[in-house]
Amino acid sequence: MTNCYLGIDAGGTSTRAALVLADGTCLGLGRAGTGNPISAGPELAAQNVLAATRAALADAELGAGTLAGGIAAMAGGRVARRVDWLNGPLHEAGIGISLSLEPDLLAAFLSATPQPDGYGVVAGTGAVAVRVRGFELESVTDGLGWLLGDAGSGFWVGHQVVRAGLAALDGRAAPTTLTAALFDALEVDPAAPAEVEGRPGAIQHAVDVLYTWRPVELARLAPLAFEAATAGDATAAAIVEEAGTALRAALEAMLVEDIPGPVVFGGSVLVQQPAVAALVGAALPEQEPLLTSDGLVGAANLALRRGGVTVTEPVFDRLTETVGARR
Amino acid sequence: MTNCYLGIDAGGTSTRAALVLADGTCLGLGRAGTGNPISAGPELAAQNVLAATRAALADAELGAGTLAGGIAAMAGGRVARRVDWLNGPLHEAGIGISLSLEPDLLAAFLSATPQPDGYGVVAGTGAVAVRVRGFELESVTDGLGWLLGDAGSGFWVGHQVVRAGLAALDGRAAPTTLTAALFDALEVDPAAPAEVEGRPGAIQHAVDVLYTWRPVELARLAPLAFEAATAGDATAAAIVEEAGTALRAALEAMLVEDIPGPVVFGGSVLVQQPAVAALVGAALPEQEPLLTSDGLVGAANLALRRGGVTVTEPVFDRLTETVGARR
């Protein structure tokens, strides 16, 4: 009889499920829409976890009776600590196991390593750093959202791009290529002639466009800073360096002597921008940062751990390989 | 027969009207609710301008037939450039004159001086600098709102207070007295014991409170920085200095050689914080900044000007004195 473990990575835009054996072999993957109970509401989130689970069982050509245990990794587990909203619908649908909830940040860390201890820094739209000890989150810093924190995140960088690009055109800061790049991205003519109450028309047009965005959407403009910095723009280089310094401060806030590493980097700002990763990695010069762009391997890793399976290096490597091969 | 001029200062929270004679004597004041057509809608704004006008006429014990002309100073005149929304209701109500719209920033400048040319910097919740030439706004910088600009404003300072106070408690920045001041202001216990997923309970409590605020409300916390800076806190002093530097850059962006001054400072950050005012004023060391906390004198000044009256120093002084005396 097959003993399968179910790892769920439930995110704001999609939910993924992996069915794995104790030796790390992935037998099936499934996918559905948002699985976050905070943003989508618990009913829709539970529906999507169920749909992803069924898709994974179908992919593996297995029935629900093969499931020996499982976990669901998601943000906001704090609010959704009681899991009736999730396990009630699963049980009604004939899935006999009860999933436990795990922090998505723990799954991100455990996607890159089988180690029980270490550090994670994730910088995508937001930014957060964690310390992991014994397969549990021991400490978290930042991740406070675009208004109150997320220092060095994609939002933070995009926000600085806009402010610096507009300030330069407004005569309040030194010229920067970010101005032209910003107006190009917004499809606003920087030389727009109309003056409204003493203000260049282009600035008013850009402001009118940008205030139709939700603030977090400024993260879209972060790539302009990385491109301009690479091309030698001093303003952009200062923004990128300040982002790296802020992320490094978050990592440094997590460091303790008895945990040497490893350190896992996730999120587009760290995974796609080696210059930022180098600035942050300097906090732990002995460690080569591990990169992860995915929490699904970590969710499967956690499903095995919480099911009492020891995930050795070979098991972890097989997990990484076989999840990757089925994608 | 009395020839009166009507100056309206229409703001987001209140509308004030002043009835003045050509020699600067104020005969009556009136007050009503919001007069901003953008935030309140044109119907309500027009009603309140009418109510303030009637109150001023009643205060002066005069009929509408005595009005020789008038203006209404308000933000967002750009959007409301056509004034039918305002003059239609006034005419229907028996007010025979047609008001022209003027920028509130011009009225702020002309509240402090009878001069035709000069500079204004206003830093309250937002921040903006202007150049005035020949009783018209010639150039404007910043005033781009809390997300995209307003560098050095009350919002900007309050935002930095929150970020710095939380970052220090989060271990990402040096300790600062702003943390205790912030938690005191939020009525959150900084030593709250509960840890939620590796994060100090106090931080989560503070974040939960702050995300119920509208972002601009962070301006409320700006005083914490000024108090802590005065008491010697290094983090707060750096925030205050950066605010002053940003406002100075805005003023410097407006300077031209053929206009030596005067410079008018408005808004709580400049009027109530001498340390900030000193940093900004250093851009024009020969000029003693004039302070204004009010656009009503400027609106009356503009009503006279646009009515063809020459506002000499004695007329301006009488305006200031008699508007002040009736308040």
CB contact under 8 Å between A249 and B173, yes or no, is: yes
A202 close to B (CB below 8 A): no
pLDDT above 80: residue A164: yes
Contacts of B218 in chain A (CB under 8 A): 147
Strands A263-266 and A290-292: parallel
CB contact under 8 Å between B172 and A138, yes or no, is: no
User: What confidence tier does B184 reach under pLDDT thresholds 50, 70, 90?
Assistant: very high
Chain B: closest CA distance from residue A106 (Å) = 10
A172 close to B (CB below 8 A): yes
Q: Average pLDDT of A229-233?
A: 97
A–B CB contacts, 8 A cutoff, strictly below: 115
Residue B270's SS3 state is: helix
User: What confidence tier does A170 reach under pLDDT thresholds 50, 70, 90?
Assistant: very high
Q: For residue B207, give the nearest of A148, A166, A171 by CB distance.
A: A148
Q: For residue A145, give the nearest of B147, B173, B207 by CB distance.
A: B207
pLDDT above 80: residue A194: no
Contacts of A143 in chain B (CB under 8 A): 199
What does the pLDDT read at residue B195? 61
What does the pLDDT read at residue A44? 94
What does the pLDDT read at residue B64? 92
- Chain A residue whose CA is closest to B204: A144
Beta strands in B245-306 (DSSP E): 263-266, 290-292
The strand pairing partners of B265, in sequence order, are B121, B291
Q: Which of residues 103-142 of B touch A (CB under 8 A)?
A: 103, 105, 130-131, 137-142
Q: What confidence tens digit (pLDDT) does each residue in A141-160 have?
A: 999 999 999 999 999 999 99
Chain A: closest CA distance from residue B77 (Å) = 8
- Chain B residue whose CA is closest to A195: B139
Chain A: closest CA distance from residue B93 (Å) = 30
Report d(CA B112, CA B320) in Å as an integer.
9
pLDDT above 60: residue B179: yes
User: What confidence tier does B36 reach under pLDDT thresholds 50, 70, 90?
Assistant: confident
**Choosing among B105, B121, B147, which should be mutated to test the A contact, i.e. which has the most A CBs within 10 A?**
B147
pLDDT above 90: residue A75: no
Report d(CA A307, CA A20) in Å as an integer.
11
What does the pLDDT read at residue B83? 84
What does the pLDDT read at residue A4? 96
Q: For residue A253, give the nearest of B143, B170, B254 by CB distance.
A: B170
Least confident segment among A37-46, A155-164, A281-290, B220-229: A37-46
pLDDT above 60: residue B54: yes
Quote the mean pLDDT of chain A: 94
The residues near A218 (Cβ < 8 Å, ≥ 6 apart) are A155, A158, A159, A161, A162, A210, B147
- Chain B residue whose CA is closest to A199: B140
Check: CB of residue B192 under 8 Å from CB of residue B202: yes
- Chain B residue whose CA is closest to A78: B196
Q: What confidence tens digit (pLDDT) does each residue in B267-299 have?
A: 999 999 999 999 999 999 999 999 998 899 999
pLDDT above 60: residue A80: no
| pTM for the whole structure | 0.92
User: What confidence tier does B39 reach under pLDDT thresholds 50, 70, 90?
Assistant: confident
pLDDT above 60: residue A78: no
Beta strands in chain B (DSSP E): 4-10, 15-20, 26-32, 67-74, 100-103, 118-123, 127-133, 136-142, 195-196, 199-200, 263-266, 290-292
User: What confidence tier does B40 reach under pLDDT thresholds 50, 70, 90?
Assistant: confident
Identify the CA nearest to B260 among candidates B295, B285, B291: B285
CB contact under 8 Å between B141 and A166, yes or no, is: no
CB contact under 8 Å between B207 and A138, yes or no, is: no
Tokens 């000499």 belong to residue: B312
Report d(CA B118, CA B112) in Å as an integer.
11
- Chain B residue whose CA is closest to A79: B196
Q: For residue A249, give the nearest of B166, B172, B204 by CB distance.
A: B172
- What is residue B26's DSSP assignment? E
Structure tokens at B163: 């970020």
Beta strands in B11-167 (DSSP E): 15-20, 26-32, 67-74, 100-103, 118-123, 127-133, 136-142
- Compute how many other C-beta atoms are within 10 angstroms of the C-beta atom of residue A256: 12
CB contact under 8 Å between A170 and B159, yes or no, is: no
User: What confidence tier does B13 reach under pLDDT thresholds 50, 70, 90?
Assistant: confident
B166 close to A (CB below 8 A): yes
Chain A: closest CA distance from residue B37 (Å) = 17
Tokens 């910043």 belong to residue: B142
| Cα angle, residue A128 at apex, residues A34 and B215 outer, rounded to 5° | 80
pLDDT above 90: residue A189: no
- Chain B residue whose CA is closest to A165: B148
Q: For residue A207, give the nearest of B131, B148, B253 by CB distance.
A: B148
Residue A28's SS3 state is: strand
Contacts of A249 in chain B (CB under 8 A): 167, 172-173
Q: What confidence tens digit (pLDDT) does each residue in B106-157 have?
A: 999 999 999 999 999 999 999 999 999 999 999 999 999 999 999 999 999 9
pLDDT above 60: residue B200: yes
pLDDT above 60: residue A51: yes
Q: Average pLDDT of A222-250?
A: 98
What does the pLDDT read at residue A77? 61
Q: Which of residues 277-296 of B touch A (CB under 8 A)?
A: none
User: What confidence tier does A128 reach under pLDDT thresholds 50, 70, 90?
Assistant: very high
Check: CB of residue B46 under 8 Å from CB of residue B99: no
pLDDT above 80: residue A133: yes
Contacts of B78 in chain A (CB under 8 A): 196-197, 204
- Give burial (CB, 10 Å; 0-12/13-18/19+) of A220: middle
The strand pairing partners of B9, in sequence order, are B16, B73
Structure tokens at B219: 């301006």
Which helix (DSSP H) or strand (DSSP E) does residue B1 occupy? none
Which helix (DSSP H) or strand (DSSP E) does residue A165 occupy? helix A154-169
**Choosing among A160, A197, A208, which should be mutated to test the B contact, i.e. which has the most B CBs within 10 A?**
A197
